[in-house]
Amino acid sequence: MREVGSDTLVFAGCNFPNCPRTSIYEASERDFRIVLVFEAISGMYDGGIEECRRIGVDVRNLDSALAWLNQ
């Protein structure tokens, strides 16, 4: 991702307790900025949202994420 100039990853549309959770942690360890669109990811739960916030993930609802992407 860095080779193409990306420093931010946006997660949406996947089953949180499985692959996305691991990918979020791996991206965090590599110092990517991470945005999690909680309304657009299946299997999301309150504890998972708080877990992500504790490691610095920018957790947004869909409207907020779309507004941010369109800046």
Question: What pLDDT, in 10s, does the model give residues 48-66?
Answer: 999 999 999 999 999 999 9
Helix (H, G, I), strand (E, B) or coil at 17: coil
* CB neighbours of residue 71 within 10 Å: 4
Tracing tokens 């991470």 back to the chain, one arrives at 34
CATH of the domain at 40: 3.40.50.850
Full domain range(s) for residue 39: 2-69
What is the maximum span of the chain, computed from C-alpha positions, in angstroms? 34
pTM of the entire structure? 0.89
For residue 2, what pLDDT band results from cuts at 50, 70 and 90?
confident
Quote the number of domains for the chain: 1
